[in-house]
Amino acid sequence: MNRMLVVIFPTESDAYRGVSMLKELDAEGSITVYSTAVIAKAADGNVTVNQAADEGPAGTAVGLLTGSLLGLFAGPAGLAVAAGAGTLGGLLFDLARVGVNDTFLDEAARQLQPGKVAVVAEVWEEWVTPVDTRMEAAGGVVLRRVRAEVIDAQIEHEVNTLRTELASLRDEQARALTEHRAKLGAKIEAAKSELRAAQERAKAALDSMVREGEAKVRTLEERLGRARGDAKTKLDARMKATRAEYQRRSELLRRAWELAREAVG
């Protein structure tokens, strides 16, 4: 399953050793590494990005989580700078897209003490032991969360709630006295406006998710072409599972978009 990792190391050299070990595990077929970043906290508390997340859709989640950590340390002023620099991909603290909660973010921030360095990564792993063993050997402390489908569920819930509200208002307007219909009409237009906004969010989430899914499948295809034996079998199963998962999520978001469009009329 897809997981977000934040691995805290005592030194920068240890952190880059940790990145190398993740790549070794990837080459062995034990895990698939989609993206990594390295951030460091200086003795004065200043946090910098030593290695940015990989460019492209596959690096989106790591970029957002890295930016969120930077903003959390820097406060409101740091958030503004990060947003202006595009560090957060145009979104501040969009943990819903990352698929983790603020508890995970707070724990990572607490563990990243002055002088320490963190590797932020998104990986596919079936077992935690391979990563834990290698990272601990390099002096790392591993924090991880499964990427949840937070944004999908939020959009679906929002669309369904607004559809119900709009239907109720339309029904009330049909039965209302003439003097009340104008006010109800204004409420209906406001609900339709909210539904159009939800429809746009569903479309944006769908487009982003499709790009991310395609990028991950390409990554797995590249690994599959080089793999042999048991590693090849595992990667093939991983790729099929990834395709199926992103297809399922695409259908959910596409359905939410269609329901919003139909409700607006």
Residue 45 phi, psi (nearest 5): 90, -5
> At residue 81, does pLDDT exceed 50?
no
Residue 205's nearest CA partner among 252, 261, 157 is 252
Alpha-carbon span 58 to 256, nearest angstrom: 24
Spatial CB neighbours of 218, under 8 Å, sequence gap ≥ 6: none
The pLDDT of residue 13: 96
The CA distances from residue 185 to 168, 188, 263, 264, in Å, are 12, 5, 15, 13
> At residue 5, does pLDDT exceed 90?
yes
Helix and strand numbers, DSSP H then E, in the chain:
8, 5
The pLDDT of residue 91: 38
Q: Compute how many other C-beta atoms are within 10 angstroms of the C-beta atom of residue 36.
A: 23
The pLDDT of residue 92: 39
pLDDT in tens, 149-206: 778 888 899 999 999 999 999 999 999 988 899 999 999 999 999 999 999 999 998 9
Share of the chain above pLDDT 70, in %: 91
The token duo for 119 is: 């590797």
Residue with tokens 């805290």: 8
- The better pLDDT of the pair 148, 49 is held by 49
Alpha-carbon span 122 to 3, nearest angstrom: 6
The pLDDT of residue 38: 96
Report yes or no: 191 and 162 within 8 Å, Cβ to Cβ. Answer: yes
Alpha-carbon span 246 to 241, nearest angstrom: 9
Tell me the pLDDT band of 79, cut-offs 50, 70 and 90.
very low
Residue 49's nearest CA partner among 66, 74, 64 is 66
The pLDDT of residue 88: 40
The token duo for 139 is: 């002096």
The pLDDT of residue 63: 87
pLDDT in tens, 82-137: 444 344 444 334 667 788 877 888 899 899 999 999 999 999 998 999 999 999 99
**DSSP characters over 12-71:** HHHHHHHHHHHHHHHHHTSEEEEEEEEEEE-TTS-EEEEEPPPSSGGGHHHHHHHHHHHH
Tell me the pLDDT band of 80, cut-offs 50, 70 and 90.
very low
- Average pLDDT of the residues of the chain: 87
Burial class for 202, CB neighbours closer than 10 Å (0-12, 13-18, 19+): buried
pLDDT in tens, 34-44: 999 999 999 98
Burial class for 182, CB neighbours closer than 10 Å (0-12, 13-18, 19+): exposed
The pLDDT of residue 95: 67
